[in-house]
Amino acid sequence: MAERSKTPRHVAIIMDGNGRWARKRGLPRAKGHEMGAESVRAVVRACRDAGVKYLTLYAFSVENWIRPKEEIRGLMRLLRIFLSKHEKELHDNKIRLRVIGRIADLPKDIQKELKRVGRETEAYRGGTLVLALSYGGRAEIVDAIRQLAGKVKKGELDPRRIDEETVAAHLYAPDIPDPDLMIRTSGEMRISNFLLWQLSYAELYVTDILWPDFREDAFKKALKEYAHRHRRFGNIE
């Protein structure tokens, strides 16, 4: 029988359209990213109100490092502001901060702040905000394979015993359940190297709304659509 849950436990979002939002208004791309940060706050609140336990945001991909240096500096500045300005909101709402990706690629001061906030919120059970930073789905799988290969080489793991559970246990956040719903803004019909392993059975929802305009009402609409989906996981009706 198909599983049908009214509220997704885990929502993942590809936050797309900041640049287009700014361009349509004759503004610099940085302004689009600033407004996008406000949408992050709105969706975090909406998740809390709806009972969504995990929210994963594709904040910065491994491919984003090829963008102009000025834009990258601006994005890192916004991340610093987010951590300093909105940390209190995480504490007030008992939300845990997690980070996935190749964190060592980030500036040292940001790495330090991410670790500190993560450590100080790790006991919270009001919800979990996962930031995907310097993240790529293929990179995550490659990193898992490297770990497995190292264990095989040391004689700690029999390669014949490697199965899906073994691989999943070596991903960045193996304790976090796979997303039930993946939202992409700006109307693009692709997953852009995001959570390739974890999205295997997620429901996909694409909206033409650009990320800076995606607020509580738009999120609620996505949840309403999800509530009408029938998740079969390979089974028949």
pLDDT tens across 188-224, in order? 999 999 999 999 999 999 999 999 999 999 999 999 9
Structure tokens at 9: 């436990």
Q: Is residue 145 part of a domain?
A: no
Residue 158 placed within a domain = no
**Residue 170 domain flag:** no
Q: What is the rounded end-to-end Cα distance, in angstroms, of the chain? A: 6
Residue tagged active-site, from 49, 64, 180, 235: 64
**Is the model's pLDDT at 19 over the cut of 90?**
yes
Q: Is 97 a domain residue?
A: yes
The answer to whether residue 167 is domain-embedded is no
The two tokens of residue 226 are 């999800």
> pLDDT tens across 37-69, in order?
999 999 999 999 999 999 999 999 999 999 999
Which residue, among 229, 181, 187, 233, has the nearest Cα to 207 in the 3D structure? 187
Domain total of the chain = 1
- 86 pLDDT band, cuts 50/70/90, is confident
Residue 3, in any domain of the structure: no
Q: According to the model, what pLDDT value does residue 1 have?
A: 39
The whole-model pTM stands at: 0.93
Report the pLDDT averaged over residues 217-234.
88
**Residue 192: inside a domain, yes or no?**
yes
Average pLDDT over residues 117-131: 97
Strands annotated E in the chain: 10-14, 54-61, 95-100, 127-135, 181-184, 203-206
Domain that residue 215 falls in:
10-136+178-227
- Share the mean pLDDT of the chain: 94
> What is residue 2's predicted lDDT score, i.e. its pLDDT?
46
pLDDT at 231 exceeding the cut of 80: no
Of the ranges 27-31, 75-79, 162-166, which is most confident?
Answer: 162-166
Triad 44, 173, 36: Cα angle to 5°: 30
127 Rama class: left (phi>0) / alpha (psi -120 to 50) / beta: left
CATH of the domain at 221: 3.40.1180.10
How far is the C-alpha of 82 from the C-alpha of 113, rounded, in Å? 11
To the query of whether residue 16 is one of the catalytic residues in this protein, the response is yes
Residue 237 lies in a domain: no
